[in-house]
Amino acid sequence: MFEQILDTYRKAAESTMKVQQEMLRSWTQQGSQTFALPTPGVVGAEEVHTAQKKWTETITDMLNKHRESLDAQYRAGIRTIEDAFRVAEAKDPEQFRKLTEELLRHSFECLKTVAEAQMRDLQAAMQKGIETASKGAMPGKK
């Protein structure tokens, strides 16, 4: 039973990581393509520099949030393992049932919290990236 809980938790964490990695890869590629060189006569060097600086800030913020999310996932994983061992120490079937329910409830709550935080972070990063890209692509906007 513990293996099943931990396996489900591991799969959810791996899936979350893959989404974050794909998102970061996509944003990095878009940023390098969008802000690589100024288009002659359309965007001046100063506008491109400003856009690149904002893009760098966006990526840095996103990576910091990603690190914080990973830290939270590791803390939750460690707590889940500790809780799973406590379930094994149950003295009777009723205590076992109660501890198992608490473990499952806590595990799903952690996954829900992490997923919600990642969605908020993704939305904020996308909004900031869109704003940065649109300001960098339009002459005279800052």
Residue closest to 114 by CA, chosen among 73, 80, 82: 73
Q: Which residues contact 111 (CB under 8 A, 6 or more apart)?
A: 9, 12
| Of residues 65 and 125, more confidently modeled | 65
Q: For residue 36, is it left (φ>0), alpha (ψ between -120 and 50) or beta?
A: alpha
Q: How many residues does the chain have?
A: 142
Query: Which of these ranges, 40-44, 56-60, 102-106, has the smallest mean pLDDT?
Result: 40-44
pLDDT of residue 33: 57
Query: Which of these ranges, 34-43, 85-94, 107-116, 118-127, has the smallest mean pLDDT?
Result: 34-43
Q: Please give the distance of CA 94 from its chain centroid, rounded to a whole number.
A: 38
pLDDT of residue 61: 82
pTM across the whole model? 0.53
